[in-house]
Amino acid sequence: MKIIIDLSVLRHPFCGLGQIALNYKQHFCQPSQLQAHGHELTLLVPHRYMSSDSGSAIFHPARKIYRSFPALAPSYDVWHSIHQFSNHRPGSKATRRILTIHDLNFLYEKTPEKQLKYKARLQSEVDSAAVVCFISHFALDEARRNLNLDGKRTQIIYNGVEDLTLGSQKCPEGLNPDVPFFLSLGVVKAKKNIHTLLPLMSHFPHHQLIIAGSDTDPYALQLKKQLGEHPNVHIIGTVDDEQRRWLYAHCSALLFPSLAEGFGLPVIEAMQWGKPVCCSQCTSLPEIGSTHAFYFPDFSHQGMAATVQQALQSFSKEKAAQEKSYAAMFSYERHFANYENLYLELLAL
């Protein structure tokens, strides 16, 4: 039997989905229980990955023609779309498709007209799936409110989170490692609500705020124009894995006031290091942060500052150890085991 996992999002390796796809590639290039059961595993990847070692998997190029003419793509028994808006889908109705939905953030980011278009497209993706997986209970509940899931099998499989405590570290160029700092990590877009952190920093004159992540969105450009009024705030752009590890290892706390998350990877990544996490109470964050995070009561700089002060003053070695134990529950090993079992179950139908 033949399985394919759509990793075409590897064309954007530094975004959150790209990082997830990289972990899929790394895992499934190694022998798994799928091959042990005699099944053939293929990874759909961008052309530039075709020359790399596929290990025990088969690489197939994500050709543009498959977007317009899916029937031209090879036939598979199980097709896993690891995110909801891939440009590729099975060409055969006999293929059992698994669709993973990460979020419905377009409900927060798009105009009403565009929301309708995105909902229609996502509904079409759901209709073509045999199983619809969600990365959080929040994401499933939001889909139930906005989509027709009647008759669809649904399943919660939490994101895997790479163990960032392993591997080398490197201080991003231009940072003074001797000055304590808070970290905000993620793509710098309006939904991340990062502008609320700038006035907050007036309460912490001896700290820096390091904002790391893709900074090409117009929202990021607007933030940069305000930095002259906030000399202890720095936007450093995209960071690589070594720099990301260093930032988590050395920050005083993660500040994450996001308005729209299907999961919230930085929350668990920071907890791996036993760092205080201060985040909003929006969307999936209370579910993922659980009792281990500190939550902003509102987005006033006074309320946010009080939350950060509480986190810094009440944090302890015991709480850090509890965080690390909790973060370990979101391992990629558990994540992949859940999906491999699902693949085998569908192949047995």
* Residue boundaries of the structural domains of the chain: 2-160+331-347, 181-329
Q: Which residue type occupies 119?
A: K
Write the pLDDT tens digit of every residue in 72-88: 888 999 999 999 999 99
Residues paired with 4 in a beta bridge: 42, 79
2-160+331-347 matches 181-329 in fold: yes
Domain 181-329 has CATH 3.40.50.2000: yes
Question: How many other C-beta atoms are found inside a 10 Å radius of the C-beta of residue 216?
Answer: 12
**pLDDT tens sequence across 190-236:** 999 999 999 999 999 999 999 999 999 999 999 999 999 999 999 99
Looking at domain 2-160+331-347, its CATH superfamily turns out to be Glycogen Phosphorylase B; (3.40.50.2000)
Closest CA to 145 of 259, 283, 258, 263: 283
Q: What pLDDT score does 52 carry?
A: 85
As a whole number, mean pLDDT of residues 231-245 equals 95
Q: What is the DSSP string of 236-263?
A: EE---HHHHHHHHHH-SEEEE--S--SS
pLDDT tens digits, 228-237: 999 999 999 9
- CA 32, CA 336: separation in Å to the nearest integer? 10
Q: Indicate the Cα dihedral angle 230, 231, 233, 238, nearest 10°.
A: 120
- In the predicted model, what is the mean pLDDT of the chain? 95
Q: What is the DSSP string of 27-62?
A: HHTS--HHHHTT-EEEEEE-GGGTTS--TTSEEEE-
pTM for the model: 0.90
Mean pLDDT along residues 57-80: 91
Asked whether 54 and 43 are in contact (CB, 8 A), the reply is yes
Q: Could you give the C-alpha distances from 31 to 34, 35, 40, 171, in angstroms and in order?
A: 8, 7, 11, 35
Element (H, E) at 140: helix 137-146
174: left (phi over 0), alpha (psi -120 to 50) or beta: left
What's the gap between Cα 106 and its chain centre? 15
CB 49 within 8 A of CB 59: yes
